[in-house]
Amino acid sequence: MTAMLIGAVFGTVFVYVNSGAPLNPIAALAFRVAAAVALLAVVVVWFLAAGQGHRR
């Protein structure tokens, strides 16, 4: 599960770094928002899975 979190963080950083000047500002914003939402989803799943592991 930790590898999934690390990959999501690096993926989000990759999108933020590479959504710069050549892209349309609206497209860059859309990519950044999508990356942030995806990272948030991975963090939520990570915490839910960690919580279920402690209940067993």
pTM: 0.80
> How high is the pLDDT of residue 14?
96
Domain that holds residue 20: 2-55
d(CA 3, CA 18): 22
**pLDDT band for position 56 (50/70/90)?**
very low
Other CB atoms within 10 A of residue 30 CB: 13
Domain total for the chain?
1
pLDDT digits (tens, 9 = 90+) for 2-55: 888 899 999 999 999 999 888 899 999 999 999 999 999 999 999 998 888 755
Q: What is the CA radius of gyration of the chain?
A: 14
> How high is the pLDDT of residue 54?
56
Can you tell me which residue has the tokens 């990959």? 7
Cα angle 41-24-38, degrees, rounded to a multiple of 5:
5
Helix axes 25-55, 2-18, angle to 10 degrees: 170
